Amino acid sequence: MDNGVWALFNDTVADLLYVGGSFTSAGGIQANHIASWDGTSWQSLGTGLDDAVSCIAFYNGELYVGGTFDNAGVDPVNNIARWDGAGWQAVGNGTDAWIKSLAVYNNELYAAGFFTVAGGWSVNGIAKWDGVSWWPVGQGLNDYVNVLQVFDGKLYAGGGFTEADGQPAYYIASWDGTNWSAVGNGLSDDVRSMTIFNSNLYVSYDLNIAIWDGTFLTAWGNAVSYGPIFANYNALFSTTAYSVSKWDQLNWSALGSPMNTNILVLQDYHNELYAGGFFDSVGTTEVNYLARWDLTTSDELFIESNSNNLSFFPNPFTEYATVRFRATESGHVKLKIYNNLNQTVGILIDQLVQSGQEFEIPVNETELPPGIYHLVFENHRESVAKKIIKLR
């Protein structure tokens, strides 16, 4: 890219990573503030937009983008536009200022940011689009919104506000489709990012992370966050200064060298963690505003086998994990879990397989006590064992 990356979105249906920001080229092609990446090459989306894209979402089968732009090509769109696969379309009359976050909740598209008008309505930082018209969301918030996140049947908003619907709600609030509510006692500073991890809502604010379990909002003393946080099935990722760190349910660890300036967004795609921002280098490597980290080397246990491809993740795990297996030769295969007394405590595969046959096997070992186990793979030519850890 030739300028900053502000937004990343993993389209798991089309298997594309959408990238938005203040750039006007991607991979050497013209791409005005929005582009798609398929893991190999870049594609532009029509004429793009005339200013920065800061958020991306899918709604009713179409791609929506929000930001600080006025036009798509020569057509006015006012900070939000939708891509129908062939061209950019307006979303009603748009908004009067920056849209910073988009989320789909109860079959409606919610937009939030620094605006106070959407589709002619006075909306106070947040509005919803039903596919035809814009609508207010209660009385809205009394200041800007940085992020929206759907969690446990509600829509959560975080930002610089201290009131929701005219009632105290310090920097975070929830919307149930009818009413706004405070989240616990709120927080001490503006919320920058939110993600879901281990069935809880994690909230980045004031160089810290708080955890909301649906009842209690608690500051996490073992975390530091300067901006975006993101979680996948296995780990929580946070930005600390100009670095990305990973919490694997045991420890924090830095992922490689630091960037030379701010990180704005994190997203996984094709077993890699992508980071976007204003940085143009990582350590001594030039990266031009977008970098990626191979998660398979650290987040997934690969069993090195001469005749088969097999992985177990996450490792460590809590109650649930997954085995992916593809046979590269035919024969009888066994895959079992053993405890430290060499007792079989789980049988995952014990059958004849055909070359090329693929398996994805859920592992539900809720009855196993926490501890160290061994995953053992056997066929007619070899036996390979690897350590796996159950946390709780």
| Domain with 266 in it | 5-295
Answer yes or no: do 282 and 342 share one domain.
no
Answer yes or no: do 255 and 164 share one domain.
yes
Answer yes or no: do 100 and 171 share one domain.
yes
The pLDDT, as a whole number, for residue 389 is: 81
Answer yes or no: do 11 and 74 share one domain.
yes
Answer yes or no: do 74 and 215 share one domain.
yes
pLDDT band for position 233 (cuts 50, 70, 90): low
- CATH value at residue 346: 2.60.40.2550
Q: Report the chain's mean pLDDT, rounded to a whole number.
A: 88
Residue pLDDT, tens place only, 100-140: 999 999 999 999 999 999 999 999 999 999 999 999 999 99
Q: Pick from 278, 295, 312: which residue ends a domain?
A: 295
The pLDDT, as a whole number, for residue 333 is: 84
Answer yes or no: do 248 and 342 share one domain.
no
Asked whether residue 267 carries a pLDDT value surpassing 90, the answer given is yes
The pLDDT, as a whole number, for residue 169 is: 97
CA distance from start to end of the chain: 43
Answer yes or no: do 220 and 357 share one domain.
no
SS3 296: helix
pTM of the model: 0.76
Number of domains in the chain: 2
Answer yes or no: do 249 and 356 share one domain.
no
Write out the DSSP string of 157-183: EEES-SEETTEE--SEEEE-SS-EEE-
CA–CA dist 133, 182 (Å, integer): 27
Q: Which of 235, 232, 260 is nearest to 246 (CA)?
A: 235
Asked whether residue 172 carries a pLDDT value surpassing 50, the answer given is yes
CA–CA dist 151, 199 (Å, integer): 9
Answer yes or no: do 172 and 257 share one domain.
yes
Q: Lowest-confidence range among 11-20, 289-298, 303-312? A: 303-312
Please name the residues in contact with 117: beta carbons below 8 A apart, sequence gap of 6 or more.
95, 96, 123
Write out the DSSP string of 242-265: TEEEEE-SS-EEE-SSPBSS-EEE
Answer yes or no: do 68 and 198 share one domain.
yes
pLDDT band for position 57 (cuts 50, 70, 90): very high
Q: Pick from 295, 321, 336: which residue ends a domain?
A: 295
Q: Pick from 265, 295, 325: which residue ends a domain?
A: 295
Please name the residues in contact with 66: beta carbons below 8 A apart, sequence gap of 6 or more.
53, 54, 55, 56, 79, 80, 99, 100, 101, 102, 111, 113
Answer yes or no: do 247 and 379 share one domain.
no
Answer yes or no: do 276 and 356 share one domain.
no
- CATH value at residue 46: 2.130.10.10
